[in-house]
Amino acid sequence: MTNDSESTPGRRAGRGGHARLSRERVLAAALELVDREGLSALSMRSLGAELGVEAMSLYRYAPGKDALLDGLVEVLYLQLEGRLAEAPVQRAPPAAERPDWRAGLRRIALTTYDVCVDHPQAVPLLSTRMMAVPLARRSPAVLRDHERVLGLLRDAGFDAAGSAAVFRAFTAWALGYTWVDLSATVDDPEEPDPTFRLGLHRMPPRELPRLRETAPALAERGGPEGLVAGLDALLGRSPGVSG
């Protein structure tokens, strides 16, 4: 029979749990904590409590809060990579018929959305840490994702400048849409009355008439369909492709 303290991460690790720590386990516990309680609940102390160890034992695996946040981004991109590996995005050599690069980008965007649906509390990190961390200092999993997107574009005939333009547009839309779509809009989930459920009584009707009118629609997720519709519109005319 497997001992619970060895098989289950979290508070059941108990005393001496630091002997079984690893970077993977620390980051997995951090993501579980964020999934359950939100990003504001994550600290070295709260994570130590989650793992049943002193906070100081964690600095070997994450030298500070920023490193912990970057580690969470890495975990999400590793999940993305794993899901894409189950049915890889199609690539084609330059001499072959050009691949459907839009279909490849759609699949990457939709898989990213699926990962984020599983971890909505961590979604803001994908954008905020991308802005805070220079390109060369991002984790290998993030860089491989960039390479995957750029590979599709270069194989399709885009030059370097065109690839950069489409890469920026694709990344901004995929991450921005996902963040907005999964962001909290409901004020009180337990309230059956739509006005109070959405918190419309907190919005001055004369100052915010359009927002109040649109709030019920904003509370409904656009989902993968909205992601693809916007992406197709964005990529309808893309610069930098030769031939």
End-to-end, the C-alpha distance of the chain in Å comes to 64
How many domains, in total, are found in the chain?
Answer: 2
- What tens digit of pLDDT does each residue of 140-169 get? 999 999 999 999 999 999 999 999 999 999
* Whether residue 70 is found in the same domain as residue 82: yes
Instruction: Report yes or no on 242 lying in a domain.
Output: no
Specify whether 93 is located in the same domain as 54.
no
In angstroms, rounded to a whole number, what is the distance separating the alpha carbons of residues 233 and 101?
14
Distances (CA, A) of 132 to 41, 129, 136: 21, 5, 12
Per-residue pLDDT, 57: 94
Which CATH number goes with the domain that contains 6? 1.10.10
Residue 52, pLDDT score: 94
Do 98 and 200 fall into the same domain?
Answer: yes
Q: What is the pLDDT of residues 110-122, one digit of tens each?
A: 999 999 999 999 9
E strand intervals along the chain: none
* pLDDT computed for residue 106 by the predictor: 95
What is the amino acid identity at position 2?
T
177 with 90, same domain: the answer is: yes
What residues in the chain have per-residue pLDDT under 50?
A: 1-18, 92-93, 95-96, 239-243
The residues, any chain, with a CB within 8 Å of residue 9's CB and separated by 6 or more, are 25, 28, 29, 32, 50, 51
pLDDT, residue 237, reads: 57
Domain boundary among 9, 30, 63: 63
Residues 85 and 120 in one domain: yes
